Amino acid sequence: MTTRSAPLIPRPLTPEAFAPYGEVLRRDPEGELFQPLHTEGQSRGWRVALLDCRPGPVRRVHRHPDSEECFALLQGRACIAVAAPDTPEEIQLFFLEEPICIRRNVWHEVVSREQARIFIAENAEISGEPLFLDPPIAWRDPRMGP
């Protein structure tokens, strides 16, 4: 793993910037009150979870070959670290300010600078592959000062 000389800075979450990793789940403000935003055609049932994210660097990323994974920030401020399936060392960091869905096999991890709570939905049965980063990747949230 390559050592970075400067902390990673989160990018704004836009559908265009996030497209290589998944989709930003946005509803049509002119549409119906209930709007399905994402359908996963290969699901074998699903599960939902709450993640309490503790502050710290990006210590690992992981991926799931058998499930997409959706994230929505419920409390606090957080970011999502992502990398393409073939280049886990090329981590990008996005502000997690809207719900997202990560594609299968995309490396990912939620990080925060403060306590945060994340809603997660994924297949009921998944496998995962972790990649521990040595050294961990430092990052800085400009919304929180130096």
| Residues 114/55, Cβ–Cβ less than 8 Å | yes
Domain extent listing, the chain = 45-141
CATH 2.60.120.10 is held by the domain 45-141: yes
Express each pLDDT in 28-59 by its tens digit: 888 877 666 666 666 677 788 999 998 999 99
Element (H, E) at 133: strand 129-137
Give the three-class secondary structure for 144. helix
Split at pLDDT 50, 70, 90, the class of 6 is confident
pTM of the full predicted structure?
Answer: 0.87
Per-residue pLDDT at 67: 87
Express each pLDDT in 60-100 by its tens digit: 999 999 888 999 999 999 999 999 999 999 999 999 999 99
Per-residue pLDDT at 27: 82
